[in-house]
């Protein structure tokens, strides 16, 4: 005789419903984030924390107010050039002249201020204009004639080197005497003003968060959970105040660092919150599709190379201010490779259309930390180059794997 099971006789389900574990609910945002294939600046910050921990364990002076101040001043030039390179990479192009253009700009600045006795502000304005004009010429050549940017900017690097040597002439080095120019990389923000800048940054970021949420609510768009955005706000607030307090214990915030941070914020707003920025990302993703959608791809491309040239000129101004001179070697060495590496390490894709200008600054900070830490422990240059090369290779590998994942998911 068949006997009914107790669960069936009681009218209950034969298979109990699986209970959701609290841990799985907590880890779901992390799984979704990793599955999306877009890690943003997370790998950069993880690498930065690891680098700082390693060098602090090897040298107790690494995380000290004085060394952190030196680190900020050291990465300013690379950060500015990486910012310009990031804009070009977002377009799906590359600029191999950006470092040498900065050297040419330093020579122009020195020549105008020393030999022509021009007002320092006028000399800097003309230097920026010269860099923008050089970049525009390259952009026009790429856009109108169709020569690949790799070749045009490589030729531009040689041309700017020739102009640099012609301006320097037989002097070898032109020493700057203008206190205005020298103050760019050697002066510091008053301590009270540093705290004010931190407060302004916190308020502006909070306002942007609230504005974004109100805009999405008005459009009935489901966005990121509020706790995620405000978690970033809390982290930014603590980090900003901590950095200012630490640097104030030495000499305060370097003006050069403040200027670079302002540039990064400005170009972040330009690329993320304006139609121009959306067109830039669209062209990086698919230039032909952007053209068919009505985007003036020629104007965007020329303007991006002009902005890159202007940023290169500003990097030359800061570099000349820091060294107090312009020489035949300005803009040479591994400056170009470091600028491209900083942009790529910061998460900007070599395939175009993905990345952020904040990544340029983060990548410059990673490279600067490696160089600074190696100098503190007395490591040879060979070791530093190996470390930077491996970091760059890892960054490009991550970008390539994530892009392949997005292609499989149909999200590229």
Q: What is the pLDDT of residues 181-191, one digit of tens each?
A: 999 988 999 98
Report how far Cα 353 is from the mean position of its chain's Cα atoms. 15
Q: Is 334 helix (H, G, I), strand (E, B) or coil?
A: coil
Confidence grade of residue 9 (pLDDT, cut at 50, 70, 90): very low
Q: Is 264 helix (H, G, I), strand (E, B) or coil?
A: helix
Rounded mean pLDDT of 43-56? Answer: 86
254 beta partners: 188
Within a 10 A sphere around the Cβ of 287, how many other Cβ atoms? 19
| pLDDT tens-digit series, residues 126-137 | 999 999 999 999
pLDDT greater than 90 at residue 330: no
Calculate what percentage of the chain has a pLDDT beyond 70.
85
Q: Which residue has the higher pLDDT, 390 or 405?
A: 390
Confidence grade of residue 207 (pLDDT, cut at 50, 70, 90): confident
Residue appearing with tokens 């005497």: 177
pLDDT for the residue 39:
59
pLDDT for the residue 1:
45
| Minimum mean pLDDT range among 64-73, 137-146, 162-171, 387-396 | 387-396
188 beta partners: 254
pLDDT for the residue 16:
54
pLDDT for the residue 302:
94
C-alpha dihedral over 266, 272, 275, 280, to 10 degrees? 100
Which of 65, 62, 80, 53 lies closest to 363 in space, CA to CA? 80
pLDDT for the residue 38:
53
pLDDT for the residue 411:
54
pLDDT greater than 90 at residue 123: yes
What is the distance between the alpha carbons of residues 26 and 28, in angstroms, rounded to a whole number?
Answer: 6
What backbone phi and psi angles, to 5 degrees, belong to 326?
Answer: -125, 135
Where are the domains positioned within the chain? Answer: 188-253
DSSP 98-111: HHHHHHHHHHHHHI
CA distances in angstroms from 181 to 70, 74, 76, 352, listed in the order given? 19, 17, 15, 36
pLDDT for the residue 225:
47
| Minimum mean pLDDT range among 21-30, 187-196, 206-215 | 21-30
Which of 111, 113, 107 lies closest to 165 in space, CA to CA? 107
What backbone phi and psi angles, to 5 degrees, belong to 9?
Answer: -65, -25
> Which letter, b or e, does each residue of 312-345 get, where b requires 16 or more Cβ atoms within 10 Å of its Cβ?
bbbbbbbbbbbbebbbbebbeebbbebbbbbbbb
Which of 310, 396, 307, 316 lies closest to 102 in space, CA to CA? 316
| Positions of E strands within 228-365 | 325-327
Residue appearing with tokens 């600029």: 95
Rounded mean pLDDT of 208-216? Answer: 74
pLDDT greater than 80 at residue 395: no
Confidence grade of residue 214 (pLDDT, cut at 50, 70, 90): confident
pLDDT greater than 60 at residue 155: yes
| pLDDT tens-digit series, residues 218-254 | 766 655 444 456 677 787 788 888 888 988 888 889 9
| Minimum mean pLDDT range among 195-199, 222-226, 382-386, 400-404 | 222-226
């Amino acid at each position: 005789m068949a006997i009914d099971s107790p669960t069936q006789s009681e009218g209950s389900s034969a298979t109990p419903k699986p209970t959701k574990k609290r841990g799985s609910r907590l880890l779901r945002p992390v799984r979704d984030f990793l599955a999306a294939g877009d890690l943003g600046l997370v790998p950069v910050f993880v690498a930065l924390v690891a680098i700082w921990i390693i060098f602090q364990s090897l040298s107790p002076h690494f995380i000290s107010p004085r060394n952190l101040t030196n680190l900020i001043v050291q990465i300013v030039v690379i950060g500015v050039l990486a910012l310009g390179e990031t804009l070009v990479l977002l377009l799906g192009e590359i600029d191999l002249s950006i470092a040498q253009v900065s050297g040419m700009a330093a020579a122009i600045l020195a020549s105008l201020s020393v030999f022509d006795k021009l007002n320092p502000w006028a000399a800097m304005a003309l230097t920026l204009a010269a860099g923008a004009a050089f970049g525009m010429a390259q952009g026009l050549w790429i856009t109108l004639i169709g020569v690949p940017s790799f070749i045009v900017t490589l030729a531009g690097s040689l041309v700017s080197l020739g102009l640099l040597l012609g301006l320097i002439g037989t002097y070898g080095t032109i020493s700057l005497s203008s206190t205005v120019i020298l103050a760019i990389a050697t002066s510091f923000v008053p301590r009270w003003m540093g705290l004010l800048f931190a407060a302004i940054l916190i308020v502006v970021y909070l306002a942007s968060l609230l504005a974004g949420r109100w805009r999405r609510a008005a459009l009935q768009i489901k966005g990121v959970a509020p706790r995620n955005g405000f978690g970033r706000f809390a982290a930014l607030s603590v980090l900003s105040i901590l950095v200012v307090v630490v640097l104030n214990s030495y000499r305060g915030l370097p003006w050069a660092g403040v200027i670079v941070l302002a540039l990064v914020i400005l170009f972040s707003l330009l690329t993320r919150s304006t139609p121009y920025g959306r067109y830039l990302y669209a062209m990086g993703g698919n230039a032909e599709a952007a053209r068919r959608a009505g985007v003036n791809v020629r104007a965007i491309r020329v303007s991006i190379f002009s902005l890159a040239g202007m940023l290169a000129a500003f990097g030359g101004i800061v570099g000349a201010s820091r060294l107090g001179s312009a020489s035949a070697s300005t803009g040479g060495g591994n400056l170009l490779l470091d600028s491209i590496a900083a942009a790529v390490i910061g998460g900007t894709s070599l395939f175009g259309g993905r990345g952020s200008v904040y990544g340029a600054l983060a990548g410059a900070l990673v490279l600067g930390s490696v160089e600074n830490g190696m100098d503190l422990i007395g490591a040879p240059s060979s070791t530093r180059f190996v470390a930077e090369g491996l970091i760059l290779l890892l960054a490009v590998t991550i970008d390539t794997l994530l892009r392949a994942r997005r292609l499989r998911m149909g999200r590229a």
